[in-house]
């Protein structure tokens, strides 16, 4: 059938699973999806088409970076609600030849015209979140193409054009609309898509949302990707594609933005030092600022280190209490101190220092919730902010024949981004990841809007090193500001409880962002909600729709797994 044509051309015919139907269950009654093993290479992404594109590239001798490029281009097409070339990314990689970790910041930047009052109305009041999201005002300078090209220049094995070929073929020949994409459109998740324009025509043809199983082509995206394949970043940041982005943003009918050709031409990704924190005998390493992921995951694990979690039952009320208390303290620090370190002083070393964590550990009560935590005292004194981040985004992991291991999270922020669509792809709304309230002049918010600044992110691509300093695990997740919770909890499950990847991925999710205890709805908590309420917690059952992808090094090669809550797939060879 035509919907399988492009995947067949890539080497494997895959029928997308019917995720609206009942999932296979683990013995515990939770969702599960078997892990897979392979001797030489492994890929796990949020979409089967993307996984197969990456697997094919890795099989042809491509590097982990090559596989990530091929997957991201396909995700732009098949998972447009979550990420794409109109957004940004963070990449963490173990460089096998150099025997070291490297991290790449491909986060969006604020246009030169952006000011701290970007999201304030004429009375100085912050715009509502959804009002801020929709339209050109929220669009930051995209970083995906520049970052991936830079990574390819350093670590690529196959020619750049060949890595875009799978996405181009799918865009021209057609792909099968997934149940998840169709469901989000039916829910009208992003009301910006209902405005007349390119996005509405693409996602709601004849006024009706795309249906699961529909065959969808995107000739406009194919044309854009062909230009990028031939010209590299210049095909995106200069010329007709750049001009189309600027015109769409500046002429947006809802909220015009300030993106300019100069902003696009001047974008630069940045290689930054990784942030590592000890957990038991391991080193858990991730992105530093402007991501809050590496620091906050490290703090949670560091705060839990004195507790013998191996003797604590997974997701018991004892664990939930300890995890919640560590999380509330870490999120309090995150909300006050974490921001773009090129613009503000971020006390990364102090936040992860053993003596600081020891003092914070003393604030974890033995039995009962203590309410909202206050950030620790540092030399810098910014005001806190409550920036929202919605649970979109995507994550992928790659391992290649040479031993390179990659973890990458990318996003356009809100599902379907700003809803501004040009050249067959959606533009991000990442400027809403800044604090909409800039704070007082005497103590401005560290994450306030500033020209050229990168908004704080919760994305937490992570690589764990074993006791000998060798790469053991690549992990990450989508999920907005709850990404940190998902990564920390799953890391504990694998390293602390020695769970199989399958069991760790199926483990019911929990989250505490210094607000309330969120338990994943639809899971058999068997009295846990009452037990935690008795401990003084405000408990909510909510759909914690994580999308964890993980690869683990084994004596015989690699093991990979994808979160059963989404449409992800792991595959190797």
Q: Which residues are catalytic?
A: 393
Whether the CB-CB separation of 360 and 343 falls below 8 Å is answered with no
H or E element in which residue 493 lies: none
Dist CA 271 CA 104 (whole Å): 4
Dihedral through CA 183, CA 189, CA 192, CA 195, nearest 10? 50
SS3 398: strand
Whether the CB-CB separation of 205 and 199 falls below 8 Å is answered with no
Pairing of strands 539-542, 517-520: parallel
Distances (CA, A) of 273 to 91, 92, 99, 285, 484: 12, 10, 14, 10, 19
Dist CA 502 CA 302 (whole Å): 25
Neighbours of 530 (CB within 10 A): 12
Neighbours of 196 (CB within 10 A): 8
Dist CA 59 CA 11 (whole Å): 10
Dist CA 106 CA 85 (whole Å): 11
For the four alpha carbons of 125, 128, 129 and 134, in that order, the dihedral sign comes to negative
- How open is the CA angle 231-235-236, to the nearest 5 degrees? 145
Dist CA 389 CA 411 (whole Å): 11
Phi, psi of 64 (to 5 degrees): -60, -40
Phi, psi of 322 (to 5 degrees): -65, -45
Whether the CB-CB separation of 327 and 513 falls below 8 Å is answered with yes
Neighbours of 376 (CB within 10 A): 19
Whether the CB-CB separation of 89 and 151 falls below 8 Å is answered with no
Joined together, the tokens standing for residue 416 give: 């379907």
């Amino acid at each position: 059938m035509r919907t399988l044509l492009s995947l067949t051309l890539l080497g494997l015919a895959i029928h997308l699973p019917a995720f609206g139907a009942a999932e296979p269950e683990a013995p515990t009654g939770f969702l599960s999806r078997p892990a897979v093993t392979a001797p030489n290479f492994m890929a796990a992404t949020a979409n089967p088409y993307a996984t197969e594109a990456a697997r094919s590239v890795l099989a042809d001798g491509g590097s982990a970076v090559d596989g990530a490029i091929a997957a991201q281009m396909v995700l732009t097409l098949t998972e447009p609600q979550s990420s794409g070339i109109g957004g940004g990314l963070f990449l963490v990689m173990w460089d096998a030849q150099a025997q070291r970790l490297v991290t790449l910041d491909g986060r969006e930047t604020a246009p030169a015209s952006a000011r701290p009052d970007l999201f304030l109305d004429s009375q100085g009041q912050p715009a509502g979140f959804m009002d801020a999201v929709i339209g050109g005002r929220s669009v930051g300078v995209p970083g995906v193409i520049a970052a991936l090209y830079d990574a390819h220049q350093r670590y690529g094995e196959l020619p750049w054009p060949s890595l875009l070929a799978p996405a181009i073929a799918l865009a021209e020949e057609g792909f099968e609309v997934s149940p998840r994409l169709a469901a989000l459109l039916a829910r009208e998740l992003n009301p910006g898509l209902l405005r007349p324009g390119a996005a509405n025509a693409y996602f709601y043809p004849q006024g009706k949302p795309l249906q699961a199983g529909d065959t969808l082509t995107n000739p406009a995206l194919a044309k854009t990707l062909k230009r990028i394949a031939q010209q590299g970043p210049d095909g995106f940041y200069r010329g007709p594609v750049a001009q189309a982005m600027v015109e769409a943003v500046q002429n947006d009918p809802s909220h015009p933005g300030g993106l300019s050709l100069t902003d696009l031409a001047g974008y630069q990704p940045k290689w930054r030092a990784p942030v590592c924190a000890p957990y038991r005998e391991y080193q858990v390493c991730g992105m530093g600022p402007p991501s809050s992921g590496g620091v906050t995951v490290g703090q949670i694990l560091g705060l839990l280190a004195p507790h013998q979690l191996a003797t604590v039952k997974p997701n018991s009320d004892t664990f939930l209490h300890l995890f919640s208390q560590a999380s509330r303290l870490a999120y309090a620090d995150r909300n006050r101190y974490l921001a773009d370190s090129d613009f503000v002083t971020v006390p990364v070393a102090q936040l992860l220092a053993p003596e600081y964590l020891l003092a914070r550990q003393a604030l974890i009560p033995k039995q009962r919730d203590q309410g909202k935590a206050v950030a620790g005292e540092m030399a810098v004194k910014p005001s806190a902010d409550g920036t929202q981040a919605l649970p979109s985004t995507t994550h992928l992991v790659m391992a290649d024949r040479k031993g390179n291991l990659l973890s990458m999270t990318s996003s356009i922020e809100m599902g379907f981004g700003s809803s501004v669509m040009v050249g067959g792809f959606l533009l991000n709304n990442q400027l809403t990841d800044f604090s909409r309230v800039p704070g007082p002049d005497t103590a401005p918010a560290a994450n306030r809007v500033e020209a050229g600044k990168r908004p704080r992110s919760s994305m937490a691509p992570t690589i764990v090193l074993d006791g000998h300093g060798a790469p053991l695990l690549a992990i990450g997740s989508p999920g907005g500001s709850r990404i940190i919770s998902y990564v920390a909890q799953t890391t504990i499950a694998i390293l602390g409880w020695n769970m199989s990847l399958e069991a760790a991925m199926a483990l019911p999710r929990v989250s505490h962002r210094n607000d309330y205890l969120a338990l994943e709805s639809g899971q058999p908590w068997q009295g846990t909600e009452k037990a935690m309420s008795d401990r003084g917690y405000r408990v909510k059952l909510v759909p914690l729709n994580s999308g964890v992808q993980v690869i683990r090094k084994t004596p015989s090669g690699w093991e990979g797994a994808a979160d059963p809550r989404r449409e992800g797939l792991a595959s190797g060879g």
